[in-house]
Every structure is written in C-alpha cells, then in structure tokens.
Amino acid sequence: EAGVAQSPRYKIIEKRQSVAFWCNPISGHATLYWYQQILGQGPKLLIQFQNNGVVDDSQLPKDRFSAERLKGVDSTLKIQPAKLEDSAVYLCASSLWTNTGELFFGEGSRLTVL
Amino acid sequence: GQQLNQSPQSMFIQEGEDVSMNCTSSSIFNTWLWYKQDPGEGPVLLIALYKAGELTSNGRLTAQFGITRKDSFLNISASIPSDVGIYFCAGQARGSGGSNYKLTFGKGTLLTVNP
C-alpha cells in the first residue's frame, strides 16, 4: 500500500514570495490534514478536509494561507506572501476514519523563508 | 485551545535501559495516542488508547490511558539504538462544533540511546 506522498521535499524562498505544496493521500482515505511543524514543536493542525469539504480551518492564517482539495483526493496548500515565521515542515496526513486519531503522515515539505 | 504538557523534553539513556515519558492536560480527551518521529520523516503511530484506564502494549512499548482522561504515559522497555527519535503524545476530543474530532499534539520527548 502506497503511503502519503508529498512534494516538494524542500523549498527555499524569500519573504513575500509564494509557495505551493502538494499532497496525495492513501487511496480510500476520505480525511486529509495539513499540519505545520515548527522546529522543536509538535505538529499543529492548519486545515482538515473530509472528502472535498473543509471540516476545520480555525487555525489557518487565511490572510496568507489557502488550501484546496477539489476532487476529494489530492490537495494543495499555498502560502502567499510568505513570512519568515512560516519556516517549518508542512506535514500532510490522511486517515480512514475521522474519530480514531490514527493518522498516516507523509514525509513532509520543509520550507525555509529567507 | 487545548494544550498538552509532555515530559521530559529530552532523555539520554544507555542501551538496555527502560524509559518512561508522560503527557498531561487540563482538558479531557476521549482518545490518547503516541507517535514517533524519525529525523526527516513524518510521525508514525505507535499506540492508540480509547478507554480510560486502558493499558496497551505493542512489543516493548506499553502505554496507559489515565483514569481521569487527562493524562497518559508511554514506557519503552530494554531500549535499543533504533528507539532514538522524538516521541509525541496526542489527545483527541470533539471539536467545538461537535461534528469533528480535533487532535492536539504535545511538544515531544527527544530520546537518545547510547549503544
């Protein structure tokens, strides 16, 4: 069974530039999550999708972050314009059920903003 | 928002020693989970606990769901070098809207095992 795929693995941009991350969840997993993990911290939920609908985006900085999952499968997370404090690893995860907490994570996309 | 206090922040032990780490919260959770993250990888689920008081083992790992539903611990017995990594506790509860489940992670315990 293929795991959660993410790209790119690494990205370096200057502040005020834009960046996009892509995620393809495990086949059949209806729930998809984007987490932000700052160095030395645990993952923090940015947005949760159930199929192609948003379940929770309460911690997404909507003035600069956007995410979509148009066909209920893969997803993109965009940051525009980026700030220095956005430097982090962006983790995508998927789960079969929404109420178990059993998430499967991708390897993450490491963003450095200069 | 809900916060988890995970301790210790880091541990340095000798191979073969047992390890214990714990997680506490001021909020009640209906599920406790423990994840491990290796460098450059995403977290991987180790153990999930669904009932207060539940004690669950997975090989050399044992975890318990506190009876108050506000804490959990993870024990690793007879540690080996590949146990090195960051261990995260995570608690799940219903979101404020009532229809979704929110998963909150602790800050992690960095484990180093000296061969």
Ordered mean pLDDT values, 10 residues apiece, chain B (115 residues): 89 97 94 96 96 95 96 97 97 74 93 95
The whole-angstrom separation of Cα B73 and Cα B23 is: 6
Average pLDDT over residues A84-107: 94
For chain A, give the mean pLDDT.
Answer: 95
For the four alpha carbons of B11, B60, B52 and B38, in that order, the dihedral sign comes to positive
For the cut 90, the answer to whether the pLDDT of residue A2 exceeds it is no
Instruction: Say if strands A10-13 and A109-113 run parallel, antiparallel, or are unpaired.
Output: parallel
DSSP A108: -
A-chain residue closest to B90, CA distance: A101
Helix extents (H) in B20-74: none
Tell me if B102 and A55 make a contact (CB, 8 A cut-off): no
pLDDT value, residue A1:
67
SS3 of residue A91 by DSSP: strand
Size of interface A-B (CB pairs under 8 A): 62
Average pLDDT over residues A87-107: 93
Residue A26 tokens, joined? 């495990």
| Rg (chain A; Cα; Å) | 13
pLDDT tier at A95, thresholds 50, 70, 90 = very high
pLDDT tier at A71, thresholds 50, 70, 90 = confident
pLDDT value, residue B98:
59
- B40, B92, B108 ranked by CB distance to A107: nearest: B40
For the cut 90, the answer to whether the pLDDT of residue A42 exceeds it is yes
The whole-angstrom separation of Cα A89 and Cα A110 is: 4
pLDDT value, residue B100:
73
Q: How far is B79 from chain A (nearest CA, A)?
A: 23
For the cut 90, the answer to whether the pLDDT of residue A20 exceeds it is yes
- B6, B31, B42 ranked by CB distance to A101: nearest: B31
The whole-angstrom separation of Cα A65 and Cα B34 is: 29
Average pLDDT over residues A20-33: 96
pLDDT value, residue A52:
86
